Structure 1
Amino acid sequence: MTGWLYEWFVAPFTAFGFMRNALYGSVLLSLSACPVGVFLTLRRMSLMGDAMSHAILPGAAMGFLLYGLDILPMTLGGLLAGLLVVLSAGAVSRLTIQKEDASMAAFYLIALALGVLIISLRGSSVDLMHVLFGTVLALNHDALLLISAVAFATLLLFFIFWRVIIAECLDPLFLRSVSGLGSPVHFIFLALVVLNLVAGFQALGTLLSVGIMILPAVTARFWAKRVASMCILSALLGILSCLAGLLLSFHFSLPSGPAIILSGGVFYLFSAMSIMLRKH
């Protein structure tokens, strides 16, 4: 029995370096992206996170077009494109009658189509799948360094602006009436969303990176009431989802990114059904 457990749960990570790298990257990503997802859900901006994950695609695609599958150009391109889309959508919502969610939807559709078009100019369908769905089992030292830097920056900014971020999330009008930090903190938070989506892009691609950000966060809301508890629980659920997805991918030859997101989906469905059965 012990030998079976070791072969199933431990041996893949002790025997193969690519599995260890995938686990390290996934854990770091969960520690930073899942708490960001908690605040996205509290702000009722979950679908905006999905839109922003598509917004990084044209920048990453341009980096791919010019330099191939080089992590630095694709990361910088994705970061610049994401920030440009966020700022453009914000400007349209403030200078016209259109709401921010509608302008974000318009920009993300444009960005998604543009990104796919750019990739198709040079790459193959395999390259397109790599950019859209990621390769968590191919994380290298540079990718791990990037994810580590994003996790450190995210946790540091949360530590510094924790109370202000919570206040801006729960009652932004009150915060802006008593402090000048409302608007800056809002854009800092959006920058953190883009940063974590760019980091997630290295492992899960543009289409799935938002999954590790949102699914553990919405699952944690079933079980926790305090914001800090939600953040901690969401990170733990993210780590468990990544661990389960990696093991399923290894033992059953499944694509790793979708396996991770579907594992998170199982936790969500189990939690939702548990709450519904408890109430009835």
Structure 2
Amino acid sequence: MMMGLIEPFLEFSFLRRALAGGIALALSAPPLGVFLVQRRLSLIGDALGHAILPGVALGAALFGLSLAAMSGGGLLAGLVVMLAAGLAARGGALREDASLAGFYLVSLALGVAIVSWGPAQLDLLELLFGSVLAVDDAALLLMAGTATVTLVSLAMIWRPLVIETFDAGFLRAQGGRGALWHLWFLALVVLNLVAAFQALGTLMAVGLMMLPAVAARFVSPTLSGQVVASVGIAVLAVLGGLIVSVRADVPTGPAIVLCAGALWLALLLAGPEASVLARSLRRPHLAR
């Protein structure tokens, strides 16, 4: 059975590249998802994932299936939507998440329209759901570079980001420039979504970020423990998703997200912390 599982990775180099890239993303994206969960901004990742589609589609329509063009366009589109939503929230009556909802719906529709107007070789399904065959050496370098930038950045801003997450008022009172850390953090979210779209697609990229982060809540009660647990869950999801993708001939993105979802459901039911099983076994307070 073990040989049957690892045989595809030994036989096909593109699977080894996809596994290496997936592990790189698993090291960087889920920790960001943990912070999004703690900040009650879980759906913002989904909104930004949709927001990069028009940039990716426009880059492909103008310059062909170039990784640099599609990644640059997606990064630019995501940053523009992020900044526009923030400015709209500060200048109007809507909260930032509501502003992002409006912008991401427009972005998604615009991206689909650009794909339909673009060249025939531009495959909408591949852009939306990803393809393991799309992970070439250039995409692998992008994923590895993104993971490096993200981990170094988190190490640099960890303390103010944690304080801004749990007590933004205290950080403002101390002159901590909370808006700067918030924008830096969201820029890292956009960067990881752009790096992930080659293998997971623009719609599925957020799954590797959020599902392990949500599942980690049932493993550890502490922030640092959830960050570590989310990375481990994401690595298992990437490995299982790639095997399912090859064996069942399904797109890579949905396969990885389904595996992450299965792990989340398992931990929700029987995880060591705050799961259904853990709550049922916990004795009532002060009970003898």
Match for residue 146 of structure 2? 150
Task: Give 2:278's aligned amino acid.
Answer: R
Offset of residue 229 of structure 1: 1.2
Q: Deviations over 1:66-113 (max 9, x none)?
A: 012110000000001000000000001001111111111000000000
Match for residue 19 of structure 1? 15
Task: Give 1:73's aligned amino acid.
Answer: A
Match for residue 219 of structure 2? 223
Match for residue 177 of structure 1? 173
Q: Percent identity?
A: 47
| Alpha carbons 1:150, 1:196 under 8 Å: kept | yes
TM-score where L is the length of structure 1: 0.96
Match for residue 278 of structure 2? 278
Match for residue 197 of structure 2? 201
Q: Which residue among 66, 76, 80 is the counterpart of 1:80?
A: 76
Q: Deviations over 1:111-162 (max 9, x none)?
A: 0000000010024496101111111333011101111111000000111111
| Alpha carbons 1:18, 1:137 under 8 Å: kept | yes
| Alpha carbons 1:137, 1:256 under 8 Å: kept | no
Query: 1:31, 1:278 → 2: CA distance?
Result: 28
Q: 1:13 to 1:117 in 2, by over 3 A?
A: same
Query: 1:136, 1:169 → 2: CA distance?
Result: 35
Task: Give 1:215's aligned amino acid.
Answer: L
Query: 1:181, 1:235 → 2: CA distance?
Result: 29
Match for residue 252 of structure 1? 248
Match for residue 189 of structure 1? 185
Q: Deviations over 1:214-271 (max 9, x none)?
A: 0000000111112111111101100100100111122222222211100000001111
Mean Cα deviation higher: 124-133 or 209-218: 124-133
Q: Deviations over 1:13-59 (max 9, x none)?
A: 11110110110010001100011111011111111110010111111
Q: Which residue among 117, 121, 127 is the counterpart of 1:121?
A: 117
Higher helix proportion, which one?
1
Query: 1:101, 1:139 → 2: CA distance?
Result: 32
May I ask how many residue pairs the two structures share in their alignment?
276
What residue ranges of structure 1 are gaps of 5+ in the alignment?
Answer: none
Query: 1:179, 1:223 → 2: CA distance?
Result: 35
- Residue 63 of structure 1 pairs with residue 88 of structure 2: no
Query: 2:233, 2:248 → 1: CA distance?
Result: 22
| Alpha carbons 2:17, 2:135 under 8 Å: kept | yes
| Paired residue secondary structure (2:123) | helix
- Residue 44 of structure 1 pairs with residue 40 of structure 2: yes
TM-score where L is the length of structure 2: 0.93
Query: 1:178, 1:226 → 2: CA distance?
Result: 25
Q: CA RMSD in A?
A: 1.2
Match for residue 5 of structure 1? 2
| Alpha carbons 1:21, 1:140 under 8 Å: kept | yes
Q: Which residue among 86, 105, 108 is the counterpart of 1:109?
A: 105
